[in-house]
């Protein structure tokens, strides 16, 4: 059985007698002057290699061109490779050298140190408690509840400025409405009669140009203002906000395969349907089309929506169908929106069912 420290109360009993710390074994470097000198040379040699690597690092820094048009070595950027390998070598050789030094040449006698319990001694505890009591007594904090409580109250109230000061971190969701085109959680830049244009290029679309099974990304014309359409130009954050909510995916489905929701019978144009590209799960732009099933898969968390059936969720973690954009054709024969989305796009949120979507009316499926 092991001796138990009088103050450490662990009693992990041993069944067999403690053989005691093994006798120290001399290393070759302790007893053989040749081995000792060899180890010394090894350690110094490693430090020397490190110095060589450092010099090479500086050389590589000065001579090698970085970047995509820079020097190439084995298909890798020569600058990055050389700087990293030489820096790595410079550091590793120092590390290995020091450890070699510790293992071969530094004393390797094991030392025993006694532990002390984590707790302070009884005397220390009593003295501390006495000091604490004396301090509290002299302050009179216990005898003067009026002072104590008023202090506590005023300090607690100091939390208010900390909270209030953070108020201007951002506007409330309801406050942004009307600040810019399509502002707010329930709105996008889509308006009645706004043309649907192709993503990236911004050209308007005729229904006859769209093939069956052809899935493509589209955006509201407002993203691409021109003199011709006379729309106000969106800048910076407002443009990003507009894109983040208004992006749509379009697909032409044979009309007989369409299962339009109630009140949505005339939202398609010859089988061309438009849905919000923003996943109703956590908001990734949806993009993967399964052509034979007209299912659309979100690449982030694999929610799958049926575009022939009002964007219904057929698989995955999304809790809601994709919002559909009602389509029509203008007098020039281009696709336009009948209105903004009739429900908020993107991920669900607490007040989602609460907010009045306005004149567009509710067309929630359930």
Partner 1 sequence: MSSHITDTSKVATSNSSAAVAKKPSKVGAAAGWADERLGLAAMGKKNLRKVFPDHWSFMLGEIALWSFVVLLLTGVFLTLWFRPSMSEIAYNGSYDQLRGIMMSEAMASTLDISFDVRGGLLMRQMHHWAAMLFIASMMIHLLRVFFTGAHRKPRELNWVIGCLLLLLGTLEGFTGYSLPDDLLSGTGVRAADGFIKAIPVVGTYVSFFLFGGEFPGEAIIPRLYTIHVLLIPGLLLALIAAHMLLLVYHKHTQWAGPGRTEDNVVGYPMLPVYAAKAGGFFFIVFGVTAIMGATMSINAVWKFGPYDPTKVTAGSQPDWYMGWPDGALRIMPGIESHIGPYTIAWNIFLPIIVLPGLLFTVLLLLPFLEAWITGDKREHHLLQRPRNAPTRTATMVALMTLYGLFWAAGGNDIIAILFNSSINDITYFLRAAVFIGPVIAFVITRRICIALQRHDNEMLLHGYETGVIMRSADGAYSEKHLPVAPEKAYAWTVRDRGHVTSIEGPSTDGATAEDANGVPAPKGRLAGVREKVRALYYADDVQKPTAEELAEAHHHAEHEHALQAALDGHAADGHQFDDHGGSVSENPLRGGEH
Rounded least distance, CB 226 to partner 1, Å: 18
Q: Could you tell me the smallest distance in angstroms from the CB atom of residue 218 to partner 1?
A: 10
Positions 220 through 259 that interact with partner 1 (CB under 8 A) = 236-237, 240-241, 243-244, 247
| Chain mean position to CA 109 | 50
How many residues touch partner 1 (CB under 8 A)?
Answer: 121
202 lines the binding site for partner 1 (CB under 8 A): no
DSSP 58-105: HHHHHH---STTS-EETTEEHHHHHHHHHHHHHHHHHHHHHHHHHHHT
Q: Which is nearer to partner 1, 264 or 352 (CB)?
A: 352
Per the listing, tokens 């090894």 go with: 42
**350 is a contact residue toward partner 1 (CB under 8 A):** yes
Please list every residue from 133 through 152 that binds partner 1, using CB under 8 A.
none
Q: Identify the residue among 10, 51, 134, 255 touching partner 1 (CB under 8 A).
A: 10
**String of b and e for 69-90 (b: at least 16 CB within 10 Å)?**
eebeeeeebbbebbbeebbebb
Residues with Cβ within 8 Å of 26's Cβ and at least 6 positions away in sequence, in order, are: none
**Sign of the dihedral through C-alpha 293, 296, 298, 299:** positive
**Measured between alpha carbons, how far apart are the two ends of the chain, in Å?**
73
The window from 91-99, 138-146, 203-211, 254-262 that contacts partner 1 (CB under 8 A) reads 91-99
Cβ proximity to partner 1, 114 vs 201, nearer residue: 114
| Candidate list 45, 95, 232, 358; residue touching partner 1; CB under 8 A | 95
Question: DSSP assignment of 198-262, as one string?
Answer: ETTT--B--GGGPPTT--EEEEEGGGS--TTTTPPPP-HHHHHHHHHHH-EEEEE--GGG--PPT
- Nearest to partner 1 of 167, 256 (CB atom): 167
The footprint of partner 1 on residues 259-278 (CB under 8 A) is 277
Residue (17 or 230) nearer to partner 1, CB: 17
CA angle (198 as vertex; 196, 202 as ends), nearest 5: 90
**One of 49, 81, 357, 365 touching partner 1 (CB under 8 A):** 81
Positions 12 through 31 that interact with partner 1 (CB under 8 A): 12-22, 25-26, 28-31
Q: Among candidates 239, 243, 266, 240, which has minimal Cα distance to 255?
A: 266
Stretch touching partner 1 by CB under 8 A, among 116-124, 226-234, 250-258, 260-268: 116-124
8 Å CB contact between 295 and 304: yes
| Interacting residues with partner 1 between 276 and 295 (CB under 8 A) | 277, 281-288
Q: Does 163 bind partner 1 (CB under 8 A)?
A: no
Q: Establish if 317 lies at the interface with partner 1 (CB under 8 A).
A: yes
């Amino acid at each position: 059985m092991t001796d138990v420290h009088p103050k450490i109360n662990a009693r992990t009993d041993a069944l067999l007698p403690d053989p005691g710390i093994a006798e120290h074994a001399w290393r070759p470097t302790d007893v053989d002057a040749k081995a000792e000198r060899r180890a010394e040379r090894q350690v110094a040699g490693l430090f020397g290699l490190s110095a060589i690597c450092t010099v090479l690092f500086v050389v590589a820094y000065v001579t090698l061109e970085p970047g995509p048009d820079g020097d190439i070595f084995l298909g890798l950027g020569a600058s990055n490779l050389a700087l990293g390998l030489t820096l790595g070598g410079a550091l590793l050789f120092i590390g290995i050298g020091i450890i070699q030094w510790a293992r071969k040449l530094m004393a390797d006698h094991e030392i025993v140190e006694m532990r002390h319990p984590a707790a302070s001694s009884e005397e220390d505890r009593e003295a501390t408690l006495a000091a604490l009591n004396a301090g509290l007594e002299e302050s009179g904090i216990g005898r003067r509840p009026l002072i104590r409580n008023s202090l506590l109250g005023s300090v607690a109230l100091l939390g208010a400025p900390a909270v209030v000061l953070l108020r201007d971190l951002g506007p409330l969701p309801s406050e942004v409405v009307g600040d810019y085109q399509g502002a707010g959680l329930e709105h996008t830049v889509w308006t009645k009669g706004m043309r649907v244009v192709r993503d990236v290029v911004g050209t308007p679309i005729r229904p006859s140009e769209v093939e069956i099974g052809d899935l493509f990304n589209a955006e509201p014309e407002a993203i691409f203002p021109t003199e011709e359409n006379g729309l106000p130009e969106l800048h910076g954050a407002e443009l990003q906000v507009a894109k983040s909510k208004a992006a749509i995916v379009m697909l032409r489905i044979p009309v007989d395969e369409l299962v339009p929701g109630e009140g949505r019978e005339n939202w398609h144009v010859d089988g061309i349907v438009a849905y919000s590209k923003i996943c109703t799960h956590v908001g990734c732009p949806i993009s993967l089309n399964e052509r034979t099933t007209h299912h659309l898969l979100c690449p982030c968390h694999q929610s799958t929506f049926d575009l022939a059936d009002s964007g219904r969720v057929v698989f995955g973690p999304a809790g809601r169908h994709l919002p559909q954009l009602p389509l029509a054709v203008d007098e020039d024969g281009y696709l336009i929106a009948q209105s903004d989305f009739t429900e908020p796009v993107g991920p669900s949120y607490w007040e989602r069912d609460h907010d009045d979507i306005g004149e567009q009316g509710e067309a929630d499926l359930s």
